[in-house]
Amino acid sequence: MERVLRQDRVTPGAPSPTRPSLAEAAYAALKASILEGLLPPGHEAVEQAIADQLGMSRTPVHEAVLRLQHEGMVRILPRRGVMVLPIDPEDLRQTYQVLIALEGEAAALLAARGEAAAATRAAMREATDVMVAALQAGDRAAWAAADDRFHRALLAGCGNPKLARLAENAADQAQRARAATAARRPEPETSGIEHEAIMAALAAGNPEAARTALARHRARASADILRALGR
């Protein structure tokens, strides 16, 4: 628990946040720690210990944990605390099927938006460039953060907020699986090439090519992660 949300601790003497904002802060901190692999699958913690580290009472932490349980990230263990859910290979396989369908549709919608999506394409370009540089520098954490920005930008810019919200949970599950298997997978050199194919389809305004390129990218990533999990 030592590494969870250290910089997000409530500062003594600062104006007292409301309970909803404390619950949101606890949720954001815990979720980020799970997605980044700081709290790996199977990790158990006591809510009061989390609250102490965050500098808040147990109530907003419990509210955050309930929300994360609803999202399939953790399980509340009666009289024991909370556990980050292990990654089930079959569940992950199904999650990627959902993600490919939703994110593929988002890519197609984005391609059809033309110049209205110029800012989104620029953000995706920047993320891809950072990925390539991070890989060359051997910085897997920076690579993973940039890869996540690429996909989140795609969803945010597709023009369908409901679709984006549905895809977010699947993207979160994929992200934590990627973090959990990072040490067991080869260098992700293929991802930059696949991102370039997606970007080319978007720039050409070709929805079906964008959908296909995105599906190939996510399917390959899914296969790599499942292989690392022994499936």
Residues 80 and 108 in one domain: no
Domain that holds residue 160: 89-228
Residue pair 71/169 in contact by the 8 Å Cβ criterion = yes
| Number of domains composing the chain | 2
Q: Which residues pair with 75 in a beta bridge?
A: 83
- Taking only the tens place, the pLDDT of each residue in 7-66 is 444 444 445 555 569 999 999 999 999 999 999 999 999 999 999 999 999 999 999 999
Residues 180 and 134 in one domain: yes
Among 64, 84, 104, where does a domain finish? 84
Are 16 and 101 contained in the same domain?
A: no
Phi, psi dihedral angles at 77 (to 5 degrees): -105, 110
Task: Tell whether 116 is covered by a domain.
Answer: yes
Residues 106 and 30 occupy one common structural domain: no
The CATH number of whichever domain residue 50 belongs to comes to 1.10.10.10
| Token representation of residue 200 | 């080319």
Residues 199 and 114 both lie in one domain? yes
Are 66 and 111 in a shared domain?
no
148 and 161 co-located in one domain: yes
pLDDT, one tens digit per residue, over 112-133 is 999 999 999 999 999 999 999 9
CA-wise closest residue to 39 among 17, 10, 64? 64
User: Could you tell me the strand order of the sheet in which 81-84 lies?
Assistant: 44-45, 81-84, 74-77
Q: Which helix (H) or strand (E) holds 77?
A: strand 74-77
pLDDT score, position 116: 94
Q: Looking at the structure, tell me whether residues 124 and 199 fall in a common domain.
A: yes
CATH number at residue 211: 1.20.120.530
Residue 1 lies in a domain: no
Higher pLDDT, 83 or 230: 83
